[in-house]
Amino acid sequence: MVTEIAASGDGFLFQQDIHKWRAGRKTLVQHFAPAVMKSKNVLLQEAESVQLLYEFLHQPEGFMNYPMRYTTSVMTLYGLRCGTYRDPIIQEVEESMRMFSELLVPGGKPPVEVFPLLNYLPAFISPWKDKCKRLAKRVDILYGDLVDIGVQRGMKGLNSDNLAYKLRLGKESTGLTHHQEAFICGVALEGGTDIVAGVILTCLLALISHPEAQKRAHEELDAICNEETLPRWEDEQGLPFVRAIFCSAWAIHMNAERYEEPELFKPERFLSHSMSMAESIAQGDPFKRDHFAFGAGRRVCPGIQKAEQDIFIALSRLLWAFDFCAPAGVSISTDFSTAFVGEGIRMPKKFPLVVTPRSQKRVQTIEHAMHLAEETFSQYGRYNPTSPLG
């Protein structure tokens, strides 16, 4: 109900209209197809990951923010990138997600999904409806602005492979309205940014709590990449332990019959899985799946290949570049009930982290790579809001 009101009936994630859902999902599946992600998107991911390293190197105290900038910049939705964490796209997405989360907390709204008649209570005794409407206004402006920018850039021959432009080109066959196009892109933006950023931060939290796993990852990386060579997506199959670090979720993954000692951080449990996440889903046998972090069935995340590349490239390069540890004498909690925050989408609470470059040569490699990445960055635009979003 919250999603329906906030998206004016056009929210894609919980879309009830099967025709709208099929039209939107078809475009998303084509846009985020593994072949496309491996051939085209990987170049942008590798460039943006260099800035991620540069940020960790020069201002490590802001590490909690940098994964969100990275994951937002590698979205190929509008032909835009975010140069800093203070970029208005990031700030608006985070504020919208905060407002949405407030409506999901116990007591944030009445149980209208269970008792639909409660939806007909007057507004003066249903303050949650006003919150939904304020959220709807905010995302209407943001997503509407962004989809228009994407279409305009595509028409000018700039980043013509962006999702907004593809949706507009297919409008005659799909029948999607401007509002529906905006929210299809919007749900991809929401799903591909803070969720993936949260995975990266959770991996860092786990690694400083389990230094033996970090040491093993360093050894694996050093066997493939020297101090002048950043890990690349093509190295993924040669780095099985690094891949295994981020294979984790709750519920199904806490089944002791499927995962031995499920409460422990044990990346090695996934070493027998050599397929990518997208390939693991495509093979069809749920008992052969590596994990279920990106869903299952007909509504499995269409951007799973992109998400895997985002996480692997960021994590492998961070581990190649730095040693991570907690400050001396500081105890780090990884307890799910106390060390994380959020409703639905869980993120680590801010935790202390010491970031140390592994060598001066690696620092020089990062500096040089950042200079080269500027050419890729110059191909993308920046977002300047045309309307007040508040």
Lowest mean pLDDT of 97-111, 112-126, 212-226, 305-319, name the range. Answer: 97-111
| Residue with the larger pLDDT of the pair 387 and 72 | 72
- Indicate the pLDDT class of residue 192, thresholds 50, 70 and 90: confident
Q: Please report whether residue 370 resides in a domain.
A: yes
The whole-number pLDDT of residue 305 equals: 86
**CATH number of the domain that 212 lies in?**
1.10.630.10
- Indicate the pLDDT class of residue 53, thresholds 50, 70 and 90: very high
| Residue with the larger pLDDT of the pair 269 and 356 | 356
- pLDDT tens digits along 63-116: 999 999 999 999 899 999 999 999 999 999 999 888 887 777 766 666 676 777
Average pLDDT rounded to a whole number, residues 128-145: 89
- pLDDT tens digits along 137-171: 999 999 999 999 999 999 999 999 999 999 999 88
Hey, what are 233's tokens?
A: 């997506």
- Indicate the pLDDT class of residue 341, thresholds 50, 70 and 90: confident
Question: What range does the domain containing 272 cover?
Answer: 12-377
Q: Residue 131: is its pLDDT beyond 90?
A: no
Mean pLDDT over the full length of the chain? 84
Among candidates 386, 344, 26, which has minimal Cα distance to 191? 344
Average pLDDT rounded to a whole number, residues 58-66: 98
Q: What share of the chain in percent tops pLDDT 90?
A: 49
The whole-number pLDDT of residue 249 equals: 42
Tell me if 301 is assigned to a ligand binding site. yes
- pLDDT tens digits along 317-339: 999 999 999 999 998 888 877 88
Q: Please report whether residue 2 resides in a domain.
A: no
Q: Please report whether residue 19 resides in a domain.
A: yes
The whole-number pLDDT of residue 252 equals: 39
Q: Please report whether residue 345 resides in a domain.
A: yes
The whole-number pLDDT of residue 280 equals: 62
The whole-number pLDDT of residue 271 equals: 66
- Indicate the pLDDT class of residue 387, thresholds 50, 70 and 90: low
The whole-number pLDDT of residue 361 equals: 98
Average pLDDT rounded to a whole number, residues 239-255: 66
Q: Please report whether residue 383 resides in a domain.
A: no
Lowest mean pLDDT of 129-133, 181-185, 223-227, name the range. Answer: 129-133
User: Residue 347: what residue type?
Assistant: M
Q: Please report whether residue 150 resides in a domain.
A: yes
- What is the domain count for the chain? 1
Average pLDDT rounded to a whole number, residues 121-125: 81
| Residue with the larger pLDDT of the pair 121 and 6 | 121
Q: Residue 251: is its pLDDT beyond 50?
A: no
Q: Please report whether residue 6 resides in a domain.
A: no
The whole-number pLDDT of residue 390 equals: 47
Q: Please report whether residue 363 resides in a domain.
A: yes
